[in-house]
Amino acid sequence: MVNDTCQGISFVINNIASYGGDPDRIYLMGQSAGAHISSCALLEQATRETKNGDGVSWSVSQLKAYFGLSGGYNLLDLVDHFHNRGLYRSIFLSIMEGEQSLKKFSPELKVQDPCIKDSIPLLPRIILFHGTGDYSIPSTASEKFADALKEAGASAELILYDGKTHTDLFVQDPLRGGKDDLFDHVLATVHSDDSDALAKDAMAPPRRRLVPEILLKIANNISPF
């Protein structure tokens, strides 16, 4: 999946202009497993660039920023948590093709590896988002990854949302309408160098509610996340 993700990013970077996009304004974002896989891809690409550069079709420097939402970045820490949540250890290890893969695909551990220290400066700005009420992947996963990134010398920020669950930030909150903190934080980053866009953002009308609150509460009660 990491290689597939790298290839997907490569396609976007190398073809965005032909679709009318701006190659100087490309952002990478992933949620949950997507945050994990995309962060693995980011580190994998940075490592390839500093090793020999052979076959490199894109550079992490072409990304303006990386957003990780509710991700898990240290699989060794999460195995028991997933097991207790119903994703049993044997199944998870089968998916990961063995316990030996857990460290390899744990970005938090990878950034601490001295062998890739030359790759760290290549990384774009990294912003991690997580709800403190997330019981699918605890917010400590993002906290520890942010600390590891900063310790390694990367540009990393962490934004925590009090009481938000694994899906609140990108499902329930947008459906509620009104203020959407995650959307506002992402937009503020994307428009950080565009004063006109920021001014328009500030004047934007409130977002309308799309779903009655009672339905969101029912969904929250039955959702496994």
The percent of residues above 70 in pLDDT, for the chain, comes to 99
Instruction: Tell whether the model's pLDDT for residue 191 goes beyond 90.
Output: yes
The two structure tokens encoding residue 126: 């990294």
Note the pTM of the prediction, 2 decimals. Answer: 0.93
Instruction: Tell whether the model's pLDDT for residue 182 goes beyond 90.
Output: yes
What number is the average pLDDT over the span 104-126? 95
Residues in Cβ contact with 6 at an 8 Å cutoff, skipping those fewer than 6 apart: 41, 44, 45, 58
How far is Cα of residue 206 from the mean position of the Cα atoms in its chain?
Answer: 26
Instruction: List, for residues 22-36, the tens digit of each pLDDT value.
Output: 999 999 999 999 999
Task: Name which residue leads in pLDDT, 72 or 202.
Answer: 72
Instruction: Tell whether the model's pLDDT for residue 145 goes beyond 90.
Output: yes
**Which residues have a catalytic role annotated?**
32, 134, 166
The CATH superfamily holding the domain 2-74+104-166 is Alpha/Beta hydrolase fold, catalytic domain (3.40.50.1820)
Instruction: Tell whether the model's pLDDT for residue 54 goes beyond 80.
Output: no
CB of 89 closer than 8 Å to CB of 79: yes
Q: Which segment of 26-35, 90-99, 125-134 scores lowest on mean pLDDT?
A: 90-99
